[in-house]
């Protein structure tokens, strides 16, 4: 199980892609929501990146059953944002708590699921592959550079 401590975090202002949540020309988040974003240090982000491999490729298919796929088309148009948000809510809306997001090494963070669901388009850009999983590891969400989501649930329903 992947875990983190407060000492594993860095201030959001020190995170390389902070502009996604802080700058006016992107999607500046309200202070209360910013408080739910916990960027991980480079060392811990590398750990998260290595751990995220459990949710990809052969490891992924061994432990998880792919449930659904969704392709985000027309990313810059409001109806597509709303459709993607509805799709995410249909799969993740009954869950809560901390999730982990791993981009390329060494970028990773812990964030409240509700914050991710509200501002998903600020976390995911169509130029990157991203792995998202909750601490309980009952599901995994992959997002790729072609703007496709892949949602899967644990086959055994249990912890890793």
Segment 95-109 mean pLDDT = 94
Handedness of CA 29, 34, 36, 42 (dihedral sign): positive
Q: Report how far apart, in Å, the C-alpha atoms of 139 and of each of 31, 80, 119, 146, 159 are.
A: 29, 24, 20, 21, 10
Q: Is the pLDDT of residue 146 over 80?
A: yes
Query: Strands, E, within 20-147: which ranges?
Result: 37-39, 64-71, 98-102, 108-112, 130-134, 139-143
Q: Which of 159, 122, 154 is nearest to 141 (CA)?
A: 154
Q: In angstroms, rounded to a whole number, what is the distance separating the alpha carbons of residues 84 and 144?
A: 14
Reply yes or no on whether the pLDDT at 148 is more than 90: no
- pLDDT of 155: 81
Distance in angstroms (rounded) separating the CA atoms of residues 81 and 85: 6
Rg (CA), the chain: 15
Q: How many CB atoms lie within 10 A of CB 64?
A: 24
The pTM score is 0.89
Q: How far is CA 118 from CA 39, 41, 103, 105, 135, in A?
A: 18, 24, 19, 25, 19
Domain ranges, ordered by start, for the chain: 39-154
pLDDT recorded at residue 60:
67
pLDDT single digits (tens) 64-87: 777 788 887 755 555 566 788 899
Question: What is the pLDDT confidence band of residue 41, given thresholds at 50, 70 and 90?
Answer: very high
Confidence of residue 104 (pLDDT cuts 50, 70, 90): confident
């Amino acid at each position: 199980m992947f875990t983190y401590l407060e000492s594993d975090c860095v201030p959001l202002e020190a995170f390389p892609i902070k502009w996604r949540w802080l700058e006016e020309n992107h999607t500046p988040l309200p202070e209360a929501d910013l408080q739910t974003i916990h960027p991980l240090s480079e060392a811990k982000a590398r750990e998260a990146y290595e751990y995220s491999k459990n949710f990809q490729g052969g490891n992924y298919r061994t432990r998880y059953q792919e449930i659904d796929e969704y392709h985000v088309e027309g990313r810059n148009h409001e109806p597509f944002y709303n459709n993607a948000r509805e799709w995410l809510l249909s799969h993740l809306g009954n869950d809560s708590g901390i999730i982990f997001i791993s981009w390329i090494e060494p970028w990773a963070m812990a964030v409240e699921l509700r914050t991710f669901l509200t501002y998903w388009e600020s976390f995911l850009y169509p130029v990157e592959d991203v792995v998202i999983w909750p601490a309980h590891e009952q599901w995994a969400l992959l997002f790729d550079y072609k703007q496709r989501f892949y949602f899967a649930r644990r086959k055994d329903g249990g912890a890793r």
